[in-house]
Amino acid sequence: MWKTTTWAGVVLIFAAIVAPLRGQPDRAKERAAVERAIRDSIGWALTKDRPLLERVIAHDAGLFIFHPDSKSTVVGWDAFARNFAFWMDPRFKATSFDVRDLRITFSPAGDIAWYSAMLDDLAEWDGKPGGWKDTRWTGVLERRDGTWVIVQMHFSFASDRPVAAARGPRFEDRTGPYLGESPPGLTPQVFAPGLIGTGGFERDLAITPDGREIYFGVAGPAYQYTTIAVTRLIDGRWTEPEVVPGLDDPRYLHLEPALSADGNTLYYLSTRPDTAAGVSPGNQDIWYLTRTPEGWSAPRNLGAPINSAAPEYFPSVTRDGTVYFTREEPGSRAGSIWRARRSGSGYLPPEKLPPQVNSGRSQFNAFVAPDESYAIVPIDGRSDSIGGSDYYVVFRDSNDRWSEPINIGPAVNTTGSQEFSPYVSPDGKYFFFMSSRLARPERLTFRGLRDLQESPGNGNADIYWVDATLVTSLRARAVFGEKRPRTTS
């Protein structure tokens, strides 16, 4: 009787211990899955296996990653995903990583895991070493639909240890043409994200024929200040941009750079006064600088017959020195495209281009190819427009006839954006254009809004680039009408 009672008691005690564990996950199996997710969140970069990283990171607004550099702290999947532009850049290369002293703790229910470890995460940017060593790394994972995903990560460093962090792009690290950017295909890309494409307001581009100087426009909110900046390739490295000398007065508008065929004259729009020419402050005129042994000359008003009492802006200069520009109609904000041929040291009276070029309610800011074989014209008010103003291409033949305008299409023109600053590189390979596209986040967070303010695609103007064959290949569709008389000023 004693033996029977004893064994019965043992069975009851064993059952009491085991019963609460029924239905619990296999901790050894789950621990292995958690460790694999932790390591994959770093190791994916060795082969740039983006789908692997996407599988182990939570895709929601609650994702939180804390970095010692507060500007790099991430809130939400949308903010995290913007880092892929940097990580997938060919100049970024993960070289090695090491996870040490990894400790994993599970919640009683087994659906949450906390971890801590020491991390070495080494990388290169454009051949220069960087990364993190002896990093304190903690985080939280949740088990969702049978898969462990990271919902929080925290990185920190001992105060007595120097930190060598992999840096974002810097001008001084860039070499080669076009700031060392990988050339785009037929899908437009932001030009030089983090350098020229900063989340601010950037528009207009001009590149010297040798490709060693890049000029671009920068504006503040509501155009309260504007100027033209330049970065130069010197001794194999691109320089930090600086404001073009003479264009630093915040009271006046300075935008829309255009270079002569030899690169020695810089034309642009300005609203500065010119007392010698009787130009009062605020009138939009075309100005220019000439290159001297000491640098650019003092600004000069281009004068009549191109400039008049009406606003003139957005010069585009051909190989023979002809200046194409926009002039607004008297008493109206509607613009039209004009051109002025060279005559000795001056210009012939400007002529308004025919209806094939001036085909909408308003057209402005036309870029004309150096050989005048085509013009890219932002036009507002056409029935075939995709958005408010679209980029159209108009081709020209040897008889000075212009084709009917062709919408460049949805790869460039969008429904909700402003597009009105075109440019083609001197080698004819790339079409640069301004667009104010907006990448809408899935959900709004305060930190996410702050991150968006510092990134391209936030609704401010950005400069995009695309293979120019997207434009020039449309010549096969060009339809030329009769040559029509033009109006002269």
- pLDDT tens readout for residues 214-226: 999 999 988 999 9
Q: Which residues of the chain have pLDDT under 70?
A: 1-25, 68-72, 159-168, 277-279, 482-486
Give the helix, strand, coil percentages of the chain, each rounded to 5: 20, 40, 45
- Give the pLDDT of residue 25: 58
Instruction: Burial-class residue 404 by CB neighbours within 10 Å (0-12, 13-18, 19+).
Output: middle
Buried b (16+ CB within 10 A) or exposed e, 58-67: beebebbbbe
Instruction: Give the separation between CA 411 and CA 277, rounded to whole angstroms.
Output: 44
Provide the 10 A C-beta neighbour count for residue 346: 11
Domains identified in the chain and CATH numbers: 23-156 (3.10.450.50), 176-488 (2.120.10.30)
- Give the pLDDT of residue 265: 98
Instruction: Give the separation between CA 433 and CA 418, rounded to whole angstroms.
Output: 11
Is residue 105 within 8 A of residue 30, CB to CB? The reply is no
Nearest to 254 by CA among 229, 291, 280: 229
- Give the pLDDT of residue 418: 87
- Give the pLDDT of residue 284: 94
Instruction: Give the separation between CA 174 and CA 385, rounded to whole angstroms.
Output: 38
User: Which H or E run includes 243?
Assistant: strand 242-243
Instruction: Give the separation between CA 50 and CA 84, rounded to whole angstroms.
Output: 8
Instruction: Give the separation between CA 146 and CA 423, rounded to whole angstroms.
Output: 52
Provide the whole-model pTM: 0.69
CA 270 to chain centre: 26
Q: In this predicted model, what pLDDT tens digit does every residue of 321-356 receive, in sequence order?
A: 999 999 998 878 899 999 999 999 899 999 999 999
Instruction: Give the separation between CA 113 and CA 105, rounded to whole angstroms.
Output: 6
422 upstream amide cis, omega within 30 of 0: no
- Grouping H, G, I as helix, E, B as strand and the rest as coil, residue 273 is coil
Instruction: Give the separation between CA 305 and CA 312, rounded to whole angstroms.
Output: 11
